[in-house]
Amino acid sequence: MQSPLVITGMGMISPLGCGVKAGWERLLAGQSGISPITRFDTGELPIKVAGSVPGITDDPEAGLDPDRVLDAKERRKMELFSLYAMAAAEEALTQANWFPSSDEDRLATATIIGSGIGGFPTITQAQNTLSTRGHRRLSPFTVPAFLANLAAGNVSIRYGLRGPMGCPVTACAAGLQAIGDGMRMIRSGEAEVALVGGAEACIDPLSLASFHAMKALSTEQDDPAKASRPFDQARNGFVMGEGAGLLVIETLAHAEARGATPLAILSGYGTSADAHHITAGPEDGSGAAAAIRSALRMAGLAPDAIDHINAHATSTPVATGPRSPPCVTPSATLSPASRFPPPRRPRATCSVLPAAWRASSPPWR
Protein backbone atom coordinates (compact mmCIF):
# COMPACT_ATOMS: atom_id res chain seq x y z
CA MET A 1 0.00 0.00 0.00
CA GLN A 2 1.35 3.42 -0.97
CA SER A 3 2.19 5.90 1.76
CA PRO A 4 -0.17 8.92 1.63
CA LEU A 5 1.12 12.19 0.22
CA VAL A 6 1.16 14.98 2.79
CA ILE A 7 1.86 18.70 3.02
CA THR A 8 4.60 19.57 5.50
CA GLY A 9 5.25 23.22 4.67
CA MET A 10 3.29 26.23 3.41
CA GLY A 11 4.37 29.66 2.22
CA MET A 12 2.20 32.53 1.04
CA ILE A 13 2.64 36.05 -0.27
CA SER A 14 -0.68 37.75 -0.96
CA PRO A 15 -2.50 41.10 -0.96
CA LEU A 16 -3.77 40.14 2.51
CA GLY A 17 -0.20 40.14 3.80
CA CYS A 18 2.95 38.09 3.71
CA GLY A 19 2.98 34.79 5.52
CA VAL A 20 0.36 32.08 5.91
CA LYS A 21 -0.60 33.13 9.44
CA ALA A 22 -1.22 36.79 8.60
CA GLY A 23 -3.08 36.05 5.39
CA TRP A 24 -5.30 33.41 6.99
CA GLU A 25 -6.17 35.51 10.02
CA ARG A 26 -7.07 38.50 7.87
CA LEU A 27 -9.15 36.33 5.56
CA LEU A 28 -11.12 34.92 8.50
CA ALA A 29 -11.59 38.45 9.82
CA GLY A 30 -13.23 39.45 6.55
CA GLN A 31 -10.51 41.85 5.48
CA SER A 32 -9.97 42.69 1.82
CA GLY A 33 -6.64 42.87 0.05
CA ILE A 34 -8.05 44.85 -2.86
CA SER A 35 -7.13 48.55 -2.90
CA PRO A 36 -6.46 51.49 -5.24
CA ILE A 37 -3.42 51.05 -7.49
CA THR A 38 -0.51 53.23 -6.34
CA ARG A 39 2.41 51.49 -8.07
CA PHE A 40 1.93 53.58 -11.21
CA ASP A 41 -0.32 56.33 -12.51
CA THR A 42 -3.41 54.65 -13.92
CA GLY A 43 -4.13 57.78 -15.97
CA GLU A 44 -6.95 57.13 -18.44
CA LEU A 45 -7.11 53.43 -17.62
CA PRO A 46 -10.63 52.47 -16.52
CA ILE A 47 -9.13 50.04 -13.99
CA LYS A 48 -8.07 51.72 -10.76
CA VAL A 49 -8.00 48.89 -8.19
CA ALA A 50 -6.05 45.66 -7.80
CA GLY A 51 -4.91 43.12 -5.25
CA SER A 52 -1.37 44.37 -4.66
CA VAL A 53 1.04 42.75 -2.22
CA PRO A 54 1.61 45.34 0.54
CA GLY A 55 5.09 46.65 1.24
CA ILE A 56 6.64 46.84 4.69
CA THR A 57 6.12 50.62 4.81
CA ASP A 58 2.37 50.41 4.19
CA ASP A 59 1.92 47.28 6.31
CA PRO A 60 4.56 47.06 9.08
CA GLU A 61 2.98 43.89 10.51
CA ALA A 62 2.77 41.76 7.38
CA GLY A 63 4.11 43.73 4.43
CA LEU A 64 6.84 42.38 2.17
CA ASP A 65 10.36 43.56 3.01
CA PRO A 66 12.37 42.87 -0.17
CA ASP A 67 15.66 43.33 1.68
CA ARG A 68 14.84 40.30 3.84
CA VAL A 69 14.37 38.20 0.72
CA LEU A 70 17.27 39.31 -1.49
CA ASP A 71 19.79 42.12 -1.64
CA ALA A 72 19.17 44.96 -4.08
CA LYS A 73 21.77 43.74 -6.58
CA GLU A 74 20.12 40.33 -6.93
CA ARG A 75 16.62 41.83 -7.08
CA ARG A 76 17.56 43.83 -10.16
CA LYS A 77 18.01 40.55 -12.03
CA MET A 78 14.48 39.26 -11.54
CA GLU A 79 10.83 40.21 -11.77
CA LEU A 80 8.39 40.50 -8.88
CA PHE A 81 6.83 37.09 -9.48
CA SER A 82 10.23 35.48 -8.86
CA LEU A 83 10.75 37.58 -5.73
CA TYR A 84 7.36 36.50 -4.40
CA ALA A 85 8.22 32.86 -5.13
CA MET A 86 11.51 33.23 -3.27
CA ALA A 87 9.74 34.65 -0.21
CA ALA A 88 7.04 31.97 -0.23
CA ALA A 89 9.66 29.25 -0.68
CA GLU A 90 11.57 30.41 2.39
CA GLU A 91 8.44 30.20 4.54
CA ALA A 92 7.38 26.80 3.19
CA LEU A 93 10.83 25.21 3.47
CA THR A 94 11.29 26.63 6.97
CA GLN A 95 8.00 25.19 8.21
CA ALA A 96 8.83 21.84 6.62
CA ASN A 97 12.39 22.04 7.97
CA TRP A 98 13.63 20.90 4.59
CA PHE A 99 16.91 22.47 3.53
CA PRO A 100 18.67 19.51 1.91
CA SER A 101 22.45 19.52 2.10
CA SER A 102 23.43 16.11 0.74
CA ASP A 103 23.61 15.42 -2.99
CA GLU A 104 21.12 12.59 -2.52
CA ASP A 105 18.48 14.81 -0.90
CA ARG A 106 19.03 17.69 -3.30
CA LEU A 107 18.64 15.43 -6.32
CA ALA A 108 15.48 13.99 -4.77
CA THR A 109 13.77 17.39 -4.38
CA ALA A 110 11.62 18.68 -7.24
CA THR A 111 10.79 22.36 -7.80
CA ILE A 112 7.55 22.94 -9.72
CA ILE A 113 6.28 26.54 -9.72
CA GLY A 114 3.61 27.55 -12.19
CA SER A 115 3.08 31.02 -13.63
CA GLY A 116 0.47 31.97 -16.17
CA ILE A 117 2.18 35.12 -17.46
CA GLY A 118 5.63 35.33 -15.87
CA GLY A 119 7.40 38.68 -15.94
CA PHE A 120 4.90 40.55 -18.09
CA PRO A 121 5.83 44.01 -16.70
CA THR A 122 9.46 43.49 -17.77
CA ILE A 123 8.34 43.05 -21.38
CA THR A 124 6.29 46.24 -21.21
CA GLN A 125 9.18 48.20 -19.71
CA ALA A 126 11.71 46.77 -22.17
CA GLN A 127 9.56 47.76 -25.13
CA ASN A 128 9.28 51.28 -23.75
CA THR A 129 13.07 51.45 -23.30
CA LEU A 130 13.66 50.16 -26.83
CA SER A 131 11.25 52.72 -28.29
CA THR A 132 12.49 55.74 -26.37
CA ARG A 133 16.17 55.06 -25.63
CA GLY A 134 17.30 52.44 -28.11
CA HIS A 135 18.48 48.85 -27.94
CA ARG A 136 21.77 49.68 -26.23
CA ARG A 137 19.89 50.69 -23.08
CA LEU A 138 18.19 47.32 -22.63
CA SER A 139 19.19 45.34 -19.55
CA PRO A 140 21.00 42.03 -20.15
CA PHE A 141 18.63 40.57 -17.56
CA THR A 142 15.50 41.37 -19.59
CA VAL A 143 14.95 37.85 -20.90
CA PRO A 144 15.92 36.00 -17.69
CA ALA A 145 13.59 38.29 -15.75
CA PHE A 146 10.44 37.60 -17.75
CA LEU A 147 10.78 33.87 -18.46
CA ALA A 148 8.00 32.12 -16.53
CA ASN A 149 10.21 29.17 -15.53
CA LEU A 150 12.65 31.46 -13.72
CA ALA A 151 10.55 31.51 -10.54
CA ALA A 152 11.29 27.80 -10.17
CA GLY A 153 14.80 28.34 -11.52
CA ASN A 154 15.71 31.07 -9.04
CA VAL A 155 14.29 29.10 -6.12
CA SER A 156 16.12 25.91 -7.09
CA ILE A 157 19.40 27.81 -7.46
CA ARG A 158 19.05 29.52 -4.10
CA TYR A 159 18.41 26.30 -2.17
CA GLY A 160 20.43 23.91 -4.31
CA LEU A 161 17.39 21.83 -5.27
CA ARG A 162 18.68 19.69 -8.13
CA GLY A 163 15.78 17.34 -8.76
CA PRO A 164 13.13 17.70 -11.49
CA MET A 165 12.09 21.27 -12.26
CA GLY A 166 9.03 22.53 -14.03
CA CYS A 167 6.71 25.44 -14.72
CA PRO A 168 3.13 24.83 -15.86
CA VAL A 169 1.81 27.88 -17.71
CA THR A 170 -1.82 26.82 -17.80
CA ALA A 171 -3.19 30.24 -16.81
CA CYS A 172 -5.55 30.03 -13.83
CA ALA A 173 -4.72 26.36 -13.27
CA ALA A 174 -0.92 26.74 -13.32
CA GLY A 175 -0.34 26.62 -9.57
CA LEU A 176 -2.72 23.73 -9.04
CA GLN A 177 -1.22 21.83 -11.94
CA ALA A 178 2.21 22.31 -10.37
CA ILE A 179 0.91 20.54 -7.26
CA GLY A 180 -0.41 17.70 -9.40
CA ASP A 181 2.87 17.41 -11.29
CA GLY A 182 4.76 17.22 -8.00
CA MET A 183 2.42 14.52 -6.72
CA ARG A 184 3.00 12.42 -9.83
CA MET A 185 6.77 12.88 -9.65
CA ILE A 186 6.80 11.57 -6.09
CA ARG A 187 4.53 8.66 -7.02
CA SER A 188 6.71 7.77 -10.02
CA GLY A 189 9.88 7.80 -7.94
CA GLU A 190 11.41 10.81 -9.72
CA ALA A 191 11.43 12.77 -6.44
CA GLU A 192 10.95 12.20 -2.73
CA VAL A 193 10.05 15.79 -1.86
CA ALA A 194 8.54 18.51 -4.04
CA LEU A 195 8.26 22.27 -3.60
CA VAL A 196 5.16 23.15 -5.60
CA GLY A 197 2.74 26.01 -6.23
CA GLY A 198 2.40 29.19 -8.24
CA ALA A 199 3.61 32.79 -8.48
CA GLU A 200 2.25 35.75 -10.42
CA ALA A 201 2.80 39.51 -10.63
CA CYS A 202 1.23 41.26 -13.61
CA ILE A 203 -0.33 44.43 -12.22
CA ASP A 204 0.83 46.50 -15.16
CA PRO A 205 -0.86 49.05 -17.46
CA LEU A 206 -0.69 46.83 -20.55
CA SER A 207 -1.88 43.77 -18.65
CA LEU A 208 -4.83 45.63 -17.12
CA ALA A 209 -5.77 47.25 -20.42
CA SER A 210 -5.61 43.90 -22.21
CA PHE A 211 -7.79 42.07 -19.69
CA HIS A 212 -10.20 45.01 -19.73
CA ALA A 213 -10.40 44.73 -23.52
CA MET A 214 -11.55 41.12 -23.01
CA LYS A 215 -14.27 42.45 -20.67
CA ALA A 216 -12.85 40.19 -17.97
CA LEU A 217 -12.15 42.81 -15.27
CA SER A 218 -14.68 44.29 -12.90
CA THR A 219 -15.73 47.81 -13.76
CA GLU A 220 -16.86 48.48 -10.19
CA GLN A 221 -14.02 50.72 -9.03
CA ASP A 222 -15.64 52.93 -6.37
CA ASP A 223 -15.56 50.35 -3.58
CA PRO A 224 -12.49 48.08 -3.97
CA ALA A 225 -13.64 45.60 -1.33
CA LYS A 226 -16.83 44.89 -3.29
CA ALA A 227 -15.36 44.87 -6.79
CA SER A 228 -15.03 41.08 -6.89
CA ARG A 229 -18.24 39.28 -5.86
CA PRO A 230 -18.45 35.95 -7.67
CA PHE A 231 -21.74 34.70 -6.24
CA ASP A 232 -23.62 37.96 -6.80
CA GLN A 233 -26.06 38.20 -9.69
CA ALA A 234 -24.58 41.62 -10.50
CA ARG A 235 -20.98 40.35 -10.77
CA ASN A 236 -19.17 41.78 -13.78
CA GLY A 237 -15.56 40.62 -13.68
CA PHE A 238 -12.54 39.86 -11.56
CA VAL A 239 -9.85 42.04 -9.99
CA MET A 240 -6.24 41.61 -11.07
CA GLY A 241 -3.89 40.54 -8.32
CA GLU A 242 -0.49 39.11 -7.52
CA GLY A 243 1.25 36.83 -5.07
CA ALA A 244 2.70 33.38 -4.57
CA GLY A 245 1.69 30.23 -2.74
CA LEU A 246 4.01 27.25 -2.29
CA LEU A 247 3.76 23.88 -0.56
CA VAL A 248 6.30 21.27 0.45
CA ILE A 249 4.88 17.82 -0.24
CA GLU A 250 6.24 14.33 0.44
CA THR A 251 5.03 10.90 1.48
CA LEU A 252 3.87 10.41 5.04
CA ALA A 253 6.57 7.78 5.50
CA HIS A 254 9.28 10.22 4.39
CA ALA A 255 7.90 12.95 6.65
CA GLU A 256 7.72 10.69 9.70
CA ALA A 257 11.20 9.32 9.08
CA ARG A 258 12.67 12.80 9.37
CA GLY A 259 10.36 14.02 12.14
CA ALA A 260 8.30 16.45 10.04
CA THR A 261 4.73 17.35 11.02
CA PRO A 262 2.06 16.54 8.40
CA LEU A 263 -0.38 19.43 7.91
CA ALA A 264 -2.80 17.85 5.45
CA ILE A 265 -3.17 14.88 3.12
CA LEU A 266 -3.23 15.26 -0.66
CA SER A 267 -5.49 12.38 -1.60
CA GLY A 268 -6.34 13.02 -5.24
CA TYR A 269 -5.70 15.17 -8.29
CA GLY A 270 -7.32 15.37 -11.70
CA THR A 271 -6.83 17.38 -14.86
CA SER A 272 -8.67 17.61 -18.18
CA ALA A 273 -9.25 19.87 -21.18
CA ASP A 274 -12.60 21.35 -22.20
CA ALA A 275 -11.59 21.40 -25.90
CA HIS A 276 -14.40 23.92 -26.28
CA HIS A 277 -13.46 27.62 -26.32
CA ILE A 278 -10.38 29.71 -25.58
CA THR A 279 -11.93 31.54 -22.60
CA ALA A 280 -15.01 29.54 -21.58
CA GLY A 281 -15.90 25.96 -20.84
CA PRO A 282 -19.01 24.14 -22.06
CA GLU A 283 -22.25 24.98 -20.29
CA ASP A 284 -22.68 21.46 -18.95
CA GLY A 285 -19.38 21.64 -17.05
CA SER A 286 -18.27 18.33 -18.57
CA GLY A 287 -14.59 19.27 -18.79
CA ALA A 288 -14.33 20.18 -15.14
CA ALA A 289 -16.45 17.16 -14.24
CA ALA A 290 -13.91 14.89 -15.94
CA ALA A 291 -11.11 16.39 -13.83
CA ILE A 292 -13.20 15.99 -10.68
CA ARG A 293 -13.88 12.34 -11.46
CA SER A 294 -10.15 11.75 -11.98
CA ALA A 295 -9.36 13.34 -8.62
CA LEU A 296 -12.01 11.28 -6.85
CA ARG A 297 -10.77 8.11 -8.54
CA MET A 298 -7.19 8.75 -7.42
CA ALA A 299 -8.40 9.51 -3.90
CA GLY A 300 -10.64 6.48 -3.77
CA LEU A 301 -13.57 8.66 -2.69
CA ALA A 302 -17.23 8.64 -3.64
CA PRO A 303 -18.72 11.97 -4.77
CA ASP A 304 -21.03 12.09 -1.74
CA ALA A 305 -17.95 12.27 0.51
CA ILE A 306 -17.19 15.82 -0.69
CA ASP A 307 -18.56 18.43 1.71
CA HIS A 308 -16.51 21.48 0.69
CA ILE A 309 -15.74 22.93 -2.73
CA ASN A 310 -13.28 25.80 -3.07
CA ALA A 311 -14.52 27.32 -6.30
CA HIS A 312 -12.61 28.85 -9.15
CA ALA A 313 -14.94 31.81 -8.75
CA THR A 314 -13.69 34.52 -11.08
CA SER A 315 -16.69 36.85 -10.76
CA THR A 316 -17.22 36.78 -14.51
CA PRO A 317 -20.84 36.04 -15.51
CA VAL A 318 -19.92 32.82 -17.34
CA ALA A 319 -17.31 31.32 -15.01
CA THR A 320 -19.28 31.68 -11.79
CA GLY A 321 -22.81 31.19 -13.03
CA PRO A 322 -25.33 28.58 -11.88
CA ARG A 323 -24.08 26.15 -14.52
CA SER A 324 -20.43 26.37 -13.49
CA PRO A 325 -19.04 23.11 -12.05
CA PRO A 326 -18.75 24.37 -8.45
CA CYS A 327 -22.45 25.20 -8.43
CA VAL A 328 -23.68 21.91 -9.87
CA THR A 329 -26.40 20.23 -7.80
CA PRO A 330 -28.53 17.14 -8.38
CA SER A 331 -31.38 19.35 -9.50
CA ALA A 332 -29.28 21.18 -12.09
CA THR A 333 -30.24 20.53 -15.69
CA LEU A 334 -26.89 19.03 -16.57
CA SER A 335 -25.75 15.71 -17.89
CA PRO A 336 -25.73 12.98 -15.21
CA ALA A 337 -21.94 12.71 -15.47
CA SER A 338 -21.59 16.32 -14.33
CA ARG A 339 -23.81 16.07 -11.26
CA PHE A 340 -22.75 15.83 -7.64
CA PRO A 341 -24.99 13.59 -5.53
CA PRO A 342 -26.21 14.90 -2.17
CA PRO A 343 -23.33 15.01 0.34
CA ARG A 344 -23.31 13.03 3.55
CA ARG A 345 -23.05 16.37 5.35
CA PRO A 346 -24.07 19.87 4.23
CA ARG A 347 -21.77 20.92 1.38
CA ALA A 348 -20.15 24.36 1.43
CA THR A 349 -19.02 26.16 -1.70
CA CYS A 350 -16.77 29.18 -1.24
CA SER A 351 -13.93 31.14 -2.80
CA VAL A 352 -11.05 33.14 -1.35
CA LEU A 353 -10.67 35.19 -4.53
CA PRO A 354 -13.05 38.08 -3.66
CA ALA A 355 -11.12 38.88 -0.48
CA ALA A 356 -7.64 38.53 -1.86
CA TRP A 357 -7.35 38.78 -5.63
CA ARG A 358 -7.36 36.78 -8.79
CA ALA A 359 -3.84 36.03 -9.94
CA SER A 360 -3.43 33.73 -12.89
CA SER A 361 -1.75 30.91 -11.01
CA PRO A 362 -2.57 30.63 -7.33
CA PRO A 363 -2.44 27.05 -6.04
CA TRP A 364 -5.57 27.21 -3.88
CA ARG A 365 -8.22 26.11 -6.35
Q: pLDDT tens for residues 158-203?
A: 999 999 999 999 999 999 999 999 999 999 999 999 999 999 999 9
Task: Name the least confident of 9-18, 178-187, 279-288, 318-327.
Answer: 318-327
pLDDT at 318: 67
Number of structural domains found in the chain = 1
What is the average pLDDT across 70-83? 94
Which of the four pLDDT bands, split at 50, 70 and 90, describes residue 356? low
Q: Is the pLDDT of residue 365 over 90?
A: no
What letter would DSSP give residue 363? S
Q: What is the DSSP string of 141-163?
A: THHHHH-TTHHHHHHHHHHT--S
Inside any domain, residue 139: yes
- Compute the distance between CA of residue 91 and CA of residue 161 in angstroms, rounded to an integer: 16
Q: Is the pLDDT of residue 213 over 70?
A: yes
What is the average pLDDT across 59-86? 95
Q: Are 349 and 311 in contact (CB under 8 A)?
A: yes
- Compute the distance between CA of residue 349 and CA of residue 205 in angstroms, rounded to an integer: 33
Inside any domain, residue 201: yes
pLDDT at 226: 82
Q: What is the DSSP string of 178-201?
A: HHHHHHHHHHHTS-SEEEEEEEEE
- Compute the distance between CA of residue 190 and CA of residue 110 in angstroms, rounded to an integer: 8
Q: Is the pLDDT of residue 332 over 60?
A: no
3-class DSSP assignment, residue 338 = helix
Inside any domain, residue 181: yes
**What share of the chain has pLDDT > 90, as a percent?**
70
Inside any domain, residue 19: yes
Domain that holds residue 118: 5-275
Among 124, 170, 279, which Cα is nearest to 214's? 279
Q: Is the pLDDT of residue 131 over 50?
A: yes
Average model confidence (pLDDT) for the chain?
Answer: 88
- Compute the distance between CA of residue 41 and CA of residue 75 in angstroms, rounded to an integer: 23
Inside any domain, residue 158: yes
pLDDT at 58: 94
Q: Is the pLDDT of residue 260 over 70?
A: yes
pLDDT at 343: 60
pLDDT at 223: 86
Among 236, 265, 227, which Cα is nearest to 249's? 265
Inside any domain, residue 339: no
Inside any domain, residue 300: no
Inside any domain, residue 93: yes
Residue 157, domain CATH: 3.40.47.10
Q: Is the pLDDT of residue 338 over 80?
A: no
What's CA 320's distance to the chain center, in Å? 18
Task: Give the tens place of pLDDT for each residue, 82-99.
Answer: 999 999 999 999 999 999
